[in-house]
Amino acid sequence: MATTEGNFTGKAEAYSKYRPSYPPEIIKLLNDKYGFTKDMIVADMGCGTGILASMFLENGNTVICVDPNDDMLNMARKNLSRYSNVTFVNGKAESTHLNDHSVNVITAGQSFHWFDEDKAKREFRRILKPPNLVVLIWNDRDVRDPFTEQYEEIIREFSKGYRGTGSTAISVERIYSFFNYDYDYYQMDNLQELDLDGLVGRYLSTSYSLKEDDPRYKDAMSRLQDLFTTNQKNGKIILRYTTRVFIGRIM
């Protein structure tokens, strides 16, 4: 698998400001069905700017934020600076630098599709301890919504290496295999309300967005502005998501 840690260099600010958060029902789900408690230690793999980690920190958990990209990790440090129960590690899912059997739960928000599954599974086995939970989460754009579908069409036209949104970018077989064909699946509705800067920023936060020196960049910005102008109400649009949650145990 190719090295990917540079894919988000220079995108940390946009990622922090314009990526959607995750439904708080995820915490309740883990509490109610998996015995998750505030005393458990969470390692957030590919933590990015700390969006998912903040939900577990608010819950009172100790969280270890792991990411290979210095820009993203530095933004996470800034965003999560008010918490005392967080540490930051420059590492990857395949090589976390964490101690053996040191974490109860591993989370991955919008990041599992970057992992080498076999190497990550070996590493997760090494660092996990009971209840040995792994929680994979994606906010996938809900293209049943007309506006979100139009945004998706622009993404497909003006992006490099785009293979789909979130979990749709990988085969279900990869997730089946990772969990040894034994996991639980849940989905929840989620949304973002954005102004024009937010819509443009949402696009620029992605690994596949065009850079300013690309000859098609201005066309992409023009299309996004036209899409916003046509659909905005009171200066805002809504992007809709299906949050997909895969929960299993790696023993």
Q: With 50 as the cut, is the pLDDT of residue 131 above it? A: yes
Distance CA 123, CA 229 (A): 47
Q: What is the pLDDT of residue 3?
A: 39
pLDDT in tens, 41-85: 999 999 999 999 999 999 999 999 999 999 999 999 999 999 999
For range 86-98, the mean pLDDT:
98
Q: What is the pLDDT of residue 54?
A: 98
Domain annotation for the chain: domains and CATH numbers: 12-142+166-192+241-249 (3.40.50.150)
For range 4-13, the mean pLDDT:
65
Q: What is the pLDDT of residue 164?
A: 73
* DSSP H or E run through 33: helix 25-34
How many other C-beta atoms are found inside a 10 Å radius of the C-beta of residue 208? Answer: 15
Instruction: State residue 159 phi and psi, 5-degree precision.
Output: -145, 155
- Rounding to the nearest 10 degrees, give the CA dihedral for residues 23, 24, 30, 32: -120
Amino acid at 42: V
At residue 168 the predicted structure's pLDDT band, cuts being 50, 70 and 90, is confident
Say how many Å lie between the first and final Cα of the chain, rounded: 24
At residue 162 the predicted structure's pLDDT band, cuts being 50, 70 and 90, is confident
At residue 169 the predicted structure's pLDDT band, cuts being 50, 70 and 90, is confident
What percentage of the chain reaches a pLDDT higher than 90? 86
Q: What is the pLDDT of residue 2?
A: 35
pLDDT in tens, 177-191: 999 999 999 999 999
For residues 108 and 93, the answer to whether their CB atoms sit within 8 Å is yes
